[in-house]
Amino acid sequence: MTMHPFIDQRSLTRREMIAAAAAAAAASRLRAQNASDIVGAARDLMYQALELLSPHATPAEVTRAIRFLRGALDQYPAFGDAHYYRSLCLKRLNQEPPLQKSDMEAAQRYQSEALRDAHDPFFLAVPKIETLPRVGQKWALVVGISQFHPDKGGEPLRCAANDAASLAEVLRDPNVGRFAPDHVFELKNQDATTVGIKVKLNTIARKAAPEDVVLAYISTHGSSRDDDHRQVSYIHTYDTDSRTRDQLFATALAMVDISGIIANRCVAQRTVVILDTCHSGAGASAQALTNIEIDRLREGAGRYVLSACEPDQKSYEDAVHGFFTASLIERFRARKGCIPLKDLFAQVSTDVGEKARKQNRQQRPVMASSSSAAEIVLGAAPGSSAGSCGTA
């Protein structure tokens, strides 16, 4: 072939090499994107299965869960957790022993996290309350995320990290919260990753004894699975990729993961979960807890669940703190921690409602508990009687 006399063949080759390298890089990014989407879709199918499973699940619900898990494995055959949960479901129904065995072997081969943590959705950690005359140790996980990953995260929140820092401070105060400083795990912004939150929550679940007090507080974005699914399916962490729905499914923290750890692994008979997931600055897609999530979190006995607002409302903020957390800290500190949780909530609910009404808004916090739940005084000192702040 005769080259044009004014074209440098070496220059053309370099251009071709640069173009080829760019095309290869683009193809690699596309493959990674597609892989992430596949994993995200499979994870969401698994979480839809888990949302059907509980100690009271009917055979029909377990059968539906198996169908979701089959779909997850069709998407992602090397999904160890989906193999593990399908094995448990088949065992629950006393069906297909060979598949039970092969699924459990696959869960081991693919290093299932759920298998490692012995998560069993059919088991209740606290089916009933025992007599607990004394308070044991006290544990807290306090999470607040105002800044998300700059390249892929959600919109910043104004007060979530400040709320978490101030709550952690009052819990550690020896004259108010009376939590041992090394028993308060505080995760803010870049420290509050999906893995980091799950690790700390699992650590508390593993260490807490039946007589202990456990508090989990999380303030961040909450998202539903789809626009018609009005509930909190996922919690945004610092490293959640919110650019597409499937990427969110692959990287966010599922609410059913949180409720599963609380219901199935945490044996503490005084457990409080506080969630603020519908901040006023988070946009129309932000979601507050509905009765569905609340019922999962209070499954069993000894659980209290507090949400900053009702499902159809927003959680409002001032320049520094959210209305809800600001009142919670103020009322808790005013009584030096010596106030039953139900009384504390009643005062906070009144404060928040009045402050919102002054701005022509509505915000009503929500509290629910297990059908069997002992009164909790969060400021009670370890070793004290359950209803006081004195020491033994």
Give the 3-state secondary structure of residue 186. Answer: strand
Mean pLDDT, residues 3-16: 52
Angle (CA) 285 286 289, round 5°: 130
The confidence score (pLDDT) of residue 18 equals 58
Give percent above pLDDT 70 in the chain.
85
The confidence score (pLDDT) of residue 121 equals 95
The confidence score (pLDDT) of residue 132 equals 75
Query: What average pLDDT does the structure give for the chain?
Result: 87
Q: Residue 30: is its pLDDT beyond 50? A: no
The confidence score (pLDDT) of residue 234 equals 87
The confidence score (pLDDT) of residue 14 equals 60
Q: Residue 335: is its pLDDT beyond 90? A: yes
Q: Domain ranges in the chain?
A: 34-116, 138-369
Q: Residue 375: is its pLDDT beyond 80? A: yes
Is it true that 34-116 and 138-369 share their CATH fold? no
Q: Which of 201-210, 279-288, 307-316, 318-327 has the lowest mean pLDDT?
A: 279-288
Cα 101 from chain centroid? 31
Q: Residue 350: is its pLDDT beyond 90? A: yes
Give domain 34-116's CATH number out of 1.20.120, 1.25.40, 1.10.10, 3.30.1140.
1.25.40
Separate counts of helices (H) and strands (E) for the chain = 12, 9
Q: Are 361 and 318 in contact (CB under 8 A)?
A: no
- Per-residue pLDDT tens for 134-152? 899 999 999 999 999 999 9
- Per-residue pLDDT tens for 96-130? 999 999 999 999 999 999 999 889 999 999 988 87
E strand or H helix at 334, and its extent?
A: helix 323-334
Q: Residue 48: is its pLDDT beyond 90? A: yes
CA distances from 217 to 10, 124, 187, 246 (A): 63, 22, 10, 26
Give the CATH fold of the 138-369 domain.
Answer: Rossmann fold (3.40.50)
Q: Residue 281: is its pLDDT beyond 50? A: no
* pLDDT-derived band at 283, boundaries 50, 70, 90: very low
Look up the pTM and report it.
Answer: 0.85
φ/ψ (deg, to 5) at 205: -60, -35
d(CA 49, CA 197) in angstroms, rounded, equals 22
Q: Residue 248: is its pLDDT beyond 80? A: yes
Question: Which one-letter amino acid corresponds to residue 25?
Answer: A
d(CA 363, CA 386) in angstroms, rounded, equals 31
CA quadruple 38, 289, 239, 23: dihedral sign: positive
Q: Residue 330: is its pLDDT beyond 70? A: yes
Cα–Cα nearest to 53, from 29, 39, 69: 69
* pLDDT-derived band at 361, boundaries 50, 70, 90: very high
The confidence score (pLDDT) of residue 386 equals 64
Q: What is the 3-state secondary structure (H, E, C) of 75-104?
A: HCCCCHHHHHHHHHHHHHHCCCHHHHHHHH
Mean pLDDT, residues 158-180: 96
* pLDDT-derived band at 13, boundaries 50, 70, 90: low
The confidence score (pLDDT) of residue 223 equals 80
Query: 118-142 burial by CB neighbour count: b if 16+ within 10 A, else e?
Result: ebbbeebbbeebeebeebbbbbbbb
φ/ψ (deg, to 5) at 369: -140, 165
d(CA 65, CA 334) in angstroms, rounded, equals 48
Q: Which of 117-126, 221-230, 232-241, 297-306 has the lowest mean pLDDT?
A: 221-230
- Per-residue pLDDT tens for 208-231? 999 999 999 999 988 876 654 556
d(CA 80, CA 109) in angstroms, rounded, equals 7
